[in-house]
Amino acid sequence: MSLPDWLPPLVRLDDYGGDWERYEEALYEAFRADFTNSQCYLGSQRVAYRKRPPVRGRANTFWHLISTGLPGKARTRDRSRCERIRWPRALIDAYPGPNVKAWRVQRGGDTNLAIAPGDFSYVVILQQRRGYVLLVTAYPVEWERRRRQMERQWDKSNRGHTKS
């Protein structure tokens, strides 16, 4: 798979000798560098993340970025999500722009903003809050059918607009 040059390189478990403990620590440091140690903005709004309830002593949103699972159930680390730990910030920083597609998504009573690279292979989900934007989750979109669905959502939400 060839990555667009504007996305950070994958952070691979093999780079840490297959040691999940060292790898997870490196992933958390990358997350902290992107969202704690430097302020992230979506336009003029600050991007925040859920710290509580912490999971294994780490911010809640961090676990949503590196793991998969159903709400209310235990989550499982996912290598594809882990490898892309630097991508949420890169996509947020690229918005709005020619490298990303963005559209509104209704989920429950909330309206979220989805941001994806042009091929819809990865998506970042943000939720508008009063005075800031909340990073909810991000994940690779592995199924072609789901990518086409996202592209249709983007197309429908952007009809009549020239902005991505």
Query: Mind listing the pLDDT tens digit for each residue in 53-84?
Result: 888 889 999 999 999 987 667 889 999 999 99
Domain limits, the chain: 13-158
* Predicted local confidence at residue 164, as pLDDT: 45
**Separation CA 100–CA 105 (nearest Å):** 16
How far, in Å, CA of 30 to CA of 158, rounded?
A: 33
Q: Which stretches of the chain score pLDDT less than 50?
A: 162-164
- 10 contacts 79 by C-beta, under 8 angstroms: no
